Structure 1
Amino acid sequence: MELKLSDFRSVEDYKGWRTVERYAFNPRDYPDDQSEQQRRLDFFLESIVPSKFEWPAGVEEARVLSPSYVEDECLGDKASLITDWEELKLTPDRVNFLTIKELALAHKCLRGTWLLFYKPFEREKYDAEWVRIAQATVKGKLGMFAKVPRDMGATAYFISVYNNNFNNKEGVKELEEKIRHLGVKGKMVYKPSVFTVLRIFAINDWSLNVGTYTSCWNSAEDRSVIKDETM
């Protein structure tokens, strides 16, 4: 059967919080036919080369899922989370990482992501590392899912690799190691998804650091060094 990229186009409604249209590859759609799964994955990755792809109107991202992925998993009760956040903002002096962490844990918004950054002249590396990350994710060797965003003409590119518990420091570091083992040597920042849900961006009114860990590659020692930004 001839494949079409539209076969992978879908819409996800985050329980009324927001709606996202994307391309997505789910290995569980082909559980009994590994050759067909690989054929479709190859088509997906060959069709969507992140730095070159011409994104259709409305499509925000392309993602690949792990075999264990569950939609909306570890995002918790977002409506209640946002309500409590609006109340917390009424006392700005109480807004800090610890109070936001408490909100996230209370409402079970535990998801987080390693963000891998690439400069414009690193397009080839960006595209190649996306393929390796996508393939490892589909095989269940990385996190929950991985994605690349629509190119909005930014001055940098990035890949997101998600896991299910930002509060599990060992799990966060383990995912970083798995990504590094794929040959990734660029800068990486870990961001709990609660900041995205609450629309707290890098530049914000409370001087919050939305990245809880930063991983940089030490070429002299041929290893990564992780800095805990919550300390």
Structure 2
Amino acid sequence: MATAGRTHQTFGSDERIFDPECNEETIDDFLFINKPSQLCISDGITWIRVLGPGYQDAQTNYDVDHLAASLQKLTTAQQSQATLNQEETSEDDEIAITQDEINSLDEELTSGKWMIFPKRDYVDHIWGKIAEATVSGKLGEGATMAKVAPVGDNEESSYIAVYTPDYRNKAQVYEVERKLRDIGIKGTMKYKPDINTKTGVYRHNNYKMRPSIYVTYDKSDSKGKSGVKSKTTSL
């Protein structure tokens, strides 16, 4: 039975979920049984997900269609303004949208995630580190949840997301990044607000926007020693 406040109501039935407050198995057993390199999306498993100590169920089921309609209204208004300013536009023209304008579409949707894209050969190892650190609280209170996409269908790379509750809380976002480096996560990581995902702001979008708002580059030394240095910058 899930405890109060952790009902998993926003997750799909096609997910494998580990909640330390609910699961009888250990995190090690869960990871051994649910390796992303062996599970397949074609078998109906969309995500493998673990919850941190600070996880709470979302209070709102976000209406993606409503957000998309709001974004369309915003772009239409900008196109109309461009016409008033006697600027020539067409339906295929890119409309510049700012991150603040996207954020204003739903000010209650504040969560976001650090995104990591490990190669298939390394995904089990990297996911194991992140999942264990999320569940145990090693990533800090800001790391509420993490998930990974199965790659058993022979995909070349996977996708791991580590969530924080508020993209506006830079100190918390940066802390989770630093703790990810502390457990040995290397390579470039990007942080993307969920509002960008829900409104369909991905790479090569028509809004002249970068989907992620922070990026961090791994600057570990050539010998791969601990003490990874990283720099997080606004985009």
1:27 aligns to what SS in structure 2? coil
* Secondary structure, counterpart of 1:85 in structure 2: helix
Residues 151-160 or 131-140, more deviating: 151-160
**Letter aligned with residue 188 of structure 1:** M
Aligned positions of 1:119-158 closer than 5 A: 119-120=119-120, 123-124=121-122, 126-142=123-139, 143-151=143-151, 153-158=154-159
Cα deviation digits, residues 20-50 of structure 1 (max 9, x gap): 62110111115xxxxx552xx2221001221
Q: Provide TM-score, normalisation by structure 1.
A: 0.77
Aligned to 1:98: 100
- CA spacing shift, 1:54–1:100, aligned 2, 3 Å: closer
Distance 1:186 1:87, change over 3 A: same
Q: Is the 2:10–2:58 contact (alpha carbons within 8 Å) kept by the matching residues of 1?
A: no
- In the alignment, structure 1 residue 226 sits paired with structure 2 residue 228: no
Aligned-partner Cα distance in 1 for 2:33–2:75: 44
Higher relative contact order (CA 8 A, sep 6+): 2
Identity of aligned residues (%): 28
- AA of the residue aligned to 2:37: S
1:81-100 superposed Cα distances (whole Å, 9 cap, x missing partner): 44432321213446222211
RMSD of aligned residue pairs (Cα, Å): 2.7
Q: Which moved more, 1:157-166 or 1:21-30?
A: 21-30
Q: Deviations over 1:176-206 (max 9, x none)?
A: 0111111111111101001111122112111
Equivalent in the alignment of 1:7: none
Q: 1:59 aligns with which of 45, 48, 54?
A: 45
Rounded to whole Å, the distance in 2 between the matches of 1:109 and 1:84 is: 14
Residues 73 and 180 of structure 1: is their aligned pair in 2 closer, same or farther, counting only changes over 3 Å?
A: farther
The TM-score with structure 2 as length reference comes to 0.75
SS of residue paired to 1:147: strand
SS state at 1:90 partner: helix
Q: How far apart in 2 are the matches of 1:77 and 1:168?
A: 24
Change (3 A) 1:182 1:168: same
Unaligned runs of 5+ in 1: 1-9, 31-35
Considering fraction of residues, name the structure with more strand: 1
Residue identity opposite 2:126 in structure 1: E
Judged with a 3 Å threshold, the aligned counterparts in structure 2 of structure 1 residues 46 and 203 are, in CA distance, closer, same or farther, namely same
Counterpart pick for 2:71 among 85, 98, 109? 85
Asked if the contact 1:146/1:159 (under 8 Å) is kept, the reply is: yes
Q: Give the corresponding residue for 1:44.
A: 30
Equivalent residues of 2:96, 2:209 under 8 A apart:
no
Letter in 1 for 2:20: P
What amino acid sits opposite 1:25 in the alignment? Answer: F
- Cα deviation for residue 117 of structure 1 reads 1.9
Alignment of 1:151-190 (within 5 A): 151=151, 153-190=154-191
Looking at structure 2, the residues matched to 216 and 23 of structure 1 have their Cα atoms a distance apart, in angstroms, of 30
Alignment match, 2:54: 68
C-alpha distance in 1 between matches for 2:181 and 2:106: 28
The number of equivalent residue pairs is: 204
The secondary structure found in structure 2 opposite 1:172 is: helix
